[in-house]
Structure 1
């Protein structure tokens, strides 16, 4: 009857005679009556018998030099990530007379390091670069058995299947893709059997984990670049089925109707992120990729994604028969059209080119079920955009829940986000309370000031974003939620990551697509429209007619830089509206700091005198621009800073001025 030794993975030297006897019985098809063979080894022997491996085989087959170079190129990322771990192993085992190897998923040795004498002995059985140590060609050995079982293993002496390999001892651990958990390769330490040590297995396992950690770090950076470059594909082909894969052919992001793709083109693709798409591994030669691609995959659907450093991956765009006709939105008429159709972004007041471009990008982003990071200064309207993204998205009927991450202590924020169970802490509500994630289930959660999130809370938020599972404070029950996250910050999160105050992996989860919001000073042409909107809104609030603005006050509001953006303008205007007597608001109600700031920043030309009476607003603006350019001696950047506007805005205004007809000066008697 078959037998096995269960328990430790590490061989016992005292079992060698028992194992040797068992192997002789096994290869002669004789009954095995004595215990002592590890179950992993016995299972490997049985696989060798099934593959008709010759136990008298002298050495492993060797790949040709060109084939080895090709495999090294295909596994370049693995080799680079493994280098530090292999060097550490070499330093530790320098005096042990062992060989340290990195193998590809097929068991071919890609790189080998170790003592010269051990190398010379290993070459006798092709335990060298290019040797193939898969089980089906050279029988039971640590490399091949680790590949077959996808688990660490130590094979000693007579446990090997082929006779000439029995003088060796080896330990190997598989290296798994941190993204898809598929086998990438094997790290192995081998030596003649006298070098056996039980700690060797622990060393190779630690090395494999170190390599996986380095690969994970590289994947995070690669996928960030890939998603940044590919976002236009998701926007442009929002009505199609888009599958984004990285350079190794792994699925990173999916958007669209998979069922429609299957019905239209008989598409057979895995739906799990991390799965491999056949024929899209860019490490393989084009001829190999073409052979691997399924028949339904048409070459014209493949869109390469690259940046200045080279190819990052591929966007597979599968056209859907039911997709809507695409239209090109003209920015000058977009606002009017959208307002007539009940535009979700209609509450965002302004018609400047930079704001219209931002709203146009937001409209394209809204239907995509992707996390969005809003970037902008305090008061720039981040919550307005967040609510508009929710209304224009795929879950407009779901709840919109907002939470300011900077407005709570760490303990209160944890309970706000994740909720708590009955008795979780003193004062906890009877029966517990759901957190914001649960409240937002089926809708949108807006995380304002996410850069203020305490560092020790960030892993908990990351887990919810990754798994969609919430565990309340003081509870063990897992609750699954489906939430679209829109986050916002006025901080430079890349700088926060460098300073160690924000997790890089959380940043990549939140910032799948970013939406920068322009400050008010970059769209001064919108200030008048915002003031008009506030005037009407406050008139309804206070039950009176809209008020008129004194010309000097009007000019001051248009000239001020508004460092607090729309929020500051709204607060200042409401105070002046409420305090004004009668139907006119004058300069006496201006906060002194604003009045003085505008006075200090007004450019005065030495060659042009401003008339005592006010002309038309356009004429005043035109003259201020010309004066600023004259005073800065034609330096556009300096003139823009003087005027408190961006350089691009100044160029637009200059183009308008240059397009104006030249009028002859009035004649004087």
Structure 2
């Protein structure tokens, strides 16, 4: 009878004798007969034999203690994110006599939990911290087979390839990186074979998904901090090719001409968000990073990005052209703005609160007075600052931005006021003009002014009062003519009361204030911003605009966007870049948005659609269905026919489906 292997997911205890007999024949290179060995097990046996694994191997090899500590440091983020899931497994399996393990991508056990008695039994085969359970060295086992297949697996008793491991039963599930889907590690539950239970596989799969969700949340928060800190440098190096990567060397954002960088320096960088750049994983020792870096990657291109909590990532700046002053930026004037003569045309939205804000800004712009922009993080303060500059009397002059929270006190002083040759160790030969001198005749934008150190504030006040700058290490006074626009997300009146901000500096900066609305206060603008981003990113990535599934559109409209427009831009660009084809589906939504959207009523830009209650609602419903049918399911064409945006059409269509669940071919 020809051999037929099964593809069942869970092993059966009753198959143990058949599996044992099949294993005997397999290791003796005899043909297998009958049924009994699952396909995942047979494939693993074949890989084990191809790797020349000795079935008589007594135990798994182990790493030295120092090597284990090094691996734990390299995988610290994984270990921290896995802690709640592993604790949950331990509570569930406390009385089951099992071991709970977290392994790195190579199969080395990083963490192990379980009863002392079971640990002692496991140590006999090196089922312990530091043990390596890759298939290549110990044959078929749940950890190694999960790594080899990239899928969850349960291996029981005689299914193991090595004899001394066959008294164990184990279940393991791989853990993948949120964006790149590269393997990060494995979660495993093992015990002596008498502890076998089919539900164990479901437990490890649930634990792996929980760890992935936690990693996604941590990555999202880290990337938000990284982008916030790096945004000034994207402006500073606007003429160069810039790649921002996180601490694990994964691409978060790119800007500039990748083709020119490739032509000039033979740069071979991955363009996809989430891809890893060799040699920039900060979890690795410096010597390992240096060995991994490609020859074209020059050390002088690498700039660490930090905040008060430590290093957030690396900015790779590849110069594409020589400039006399790399920090001075001359932006387009009002006559060259893409929005025509309206300097505020780039600020997307038509809500009443935004229109009122823009109207006040238009009145402020020509006054040439200091302005204080007040608003939450990501609300568009720099966008308004640039518009005020373009609409003001200094539009032909430079616009210079500096983030007062991104530098230490010493660096901020040199950034603002400049320095002379020899002013301090590492000072550039010939000195360097500060931001005030660079902005002479134009506008200086002081972002995060509330973060400025208290002892720096008198120096800034003197410059604002006297319009005179003295570089560090110099005595010569240099007169400057600069319009100052400052911005903060802090309550400066409260900061003054707490003694953290000078009242006289506040009154000098806040001659006129401009409060900016949060995105949640103008929900009607969200779909217009999404449409704008869709078109903008289509041009950037050289493809057609994407279609949003109705549930995606509803989730984006329902979310409160604590990070405002910046958060919306970052989230939408990640979804756009990661989407396959021309559809953005719910699988691309960040966990924070799906969770909040599930607990919040949708925010819609149109009136709620009742269930066929009244002639007007019925006419609208029929018009939508007719437009979709006439467009043969082409949602963009249907939206144009109806005179609405595609995202609005999706929202209306989702409401119709929820009420009547009609069958639509779209």
| Band of TM-score, shorter chain | 0.5 to 0.7
1:637 aligns with none
| Match status 1:22 vs 2:22 | yes
Residue among 369, 377, 381 paired with 1:352:
369
2:107 aligns with 107
1:75 aligns with 75
Quickly say closer, same or farther: Cα 1:9–1:265, change in 2 above 3 A: same
Counterparts of 2:66 and 2:141, CA distance in 1: 26
- Superposed counterparts of 1:80-99, under 5 Å: 80-99=80-99
Asked whether the equivalents of residues 241 and 257 of structure 2 are also in contact (C-alpha less than 8 Å), the reply is yes
1:267 aligns with 267
RMSD of equivalent CA atoms: 4.3
Deviations 1:579-609 (A, max 9, x none): xxxxxxxxxxxxxxxxxxxxxxxxxxxxxxx
Counterparts of 1:2 and 1:297, CA distance in 2: 57
1:123 aligns with 123
Counterparts of 2:533 and 2:253, CA distance in 1: 23
Deviations 1:136-186 (A, max 9, x none): 000000000111111100000111011110110000001111122111111
Quickly say closer, same or farther: Cα 1:257–1:167, change in 2 above 3 A: same
Deviations 1:434-463 (A, max 9, x none): x88889896899xxxxxxx98783369978
SS in 2 for 1:130: coil
Counterparts of 1:327 and 1:93, CA distance in 2: 60
- Superposed counterparts of 1:471-482, under 5 Å: none
1:457 aligns with 557
Shift in Å, 1:88:
1.0
**With structure 1 as the length reference, what TM-score do the two structures score?**
0.56
Shift in Å, 1:117:
1.1
Counterparts of 2:148 and 2:276, CA distance in 1: 20
SS in 1 for 2:170: strand
SS in 1 for 2:215: helix
- Superposed counterparts of 1:80-479, under 5 Å: 80-321=80-321, 338=333, 348=362, 349-350=365-366, 351-354=368-371, 358-359=385-386, 380=514, 405-406=522-523, 457-458=557-558, 466-468=574-576
Counterparts of 1:162 and 1:221, CA distance in 2: 44
Asked whether the equivalents of residues 239 and 324 of structure 1 are also in contact (C-alpha less than 8 Å), the reply is no
Counterparts of 1:112 and 1:324, CA distance in 2: 56
**With structure 2 as the length reference, what TM-score do the two structures score?**
0.57
Deviations 1:186-240 (A, max 9, x none): 1000011111000000000011111111111111111111111111221111111
Shift in Å, 1:340:
7.3
1:431 aligns with none
2:38 aligns with 38
Shift in Å, 1:61:
0.5
Asked whether the equivalents of residues 3 and 37 of structure 1 are also in contact (C-alpha less than 8 Å), the reply is no
Counterparts of 1:218 and 1:181, CA distance in 2: 15
The more displaced of 252-261 and 351-360 is 351-360
Asked whether the equivalents of residues 99 and 118 of structure 2 are also in contact (C-alpha less than 8 Å), the reply is yes
Counterparts of 2:111 and 2:8, CA distance in 1: 29
Gaps of 5+ in 2: 345-361, 374-381, 391-398, 402-486, 492-512, 546-552, 562-567, 585-592, 603-666
SS in 1 for 2:52: coil
Counterparts of 1:43 and 1:293, CA distance in 2: 36
Deviations 1:242-284 (A, max 9, x none): 1111001111111111111111111111111001111111011
SS in 1 for 2:107: coil
Counterparts of 2:537 and 2:295, CA distance in 1: 40
Counterparts of 1:66 and 1:2, CA distance in 2: 51
Asked whether the equivalents of residues 523 and 557 of structure 2 are also in contact (C-alpha less than 8 Å), the reply is no
Counterparts of 1:302 and 1:328, CA distance in 2: 17
Asked whether the equivalents of residues 157 and 193 of structure 2 are also in contact (C-alpha less than 8 Å), the reply is yes
Counterparts of 1:182 and 1:442, CA distance in 2: 26
Asked whether the equivalents of residues 237 and 326 of structure 2 are also in contact (C-alpha less than 8 Å), the reply is no
SS in 2 for 1:306: strand
Shift in Å, 1:103:
0.6
Counterparts of 2:335 and 2:155, CA distance in 1: 75
Counterparts of 2:120 and 2:273, CA distance in 1: 45
Counterparts of 2:153 and 2:286, CA distance in 1: 36
Asked whether the equivalents of residues 235 and 365 of structure 1 are also in contact (C-alpha less than 8 Å), the reply is no
Counterparts of 2:250 and 2:335, CA distance in 1: 43
Shift in Å, 1:2:
8.3
Aligned residue pairs total 425
Shift in Å, 1:59:
0.1
Gaps of 5+ in 1: 367-373, 387-402, 419-434, 446-452, 472-477, 482-493, 504-669
Shift in Å, 1:89:
0.7
Quickly say closer, same or farther: Cα 1:253–1:502, change in 2 above 3 A: farther
1:658 aligns with none
1:657 aligns with none
Counterparts of 2:197 and 2:555, CA distance in 1: 42
Larger radius of gyration: 1
Counterparts of 1:234 and 1:148, CA distance in 2: 40
Shift in Å, 1:325:
6.2
The more displaced of 164-173 and 67-76 is 67-76
Quickly say closer, same or farther: Cα 1:4–1:123, change in 2 above 3 A: farther
Shift in Å, 1:27:
1.0
Deviations 1:296-346 (A, max 9, x none): 10100000011111111000111124x776576699xx9xx9467779675
Quickly say closer, same or farther: Cα 1:362–1:196, change in 2 above 3 A: farther
Quickly say closer, same or farther: Cα 1:328–1:278, change in 2 above 3 A: closer
SS in 2 for 1:5: strand
Shift in Å, 1:464:
6.0
1:540 aligns with none
Quickly say closer, same or farther: Cα 1:352–1:361, change in 2 above 3 A: closer
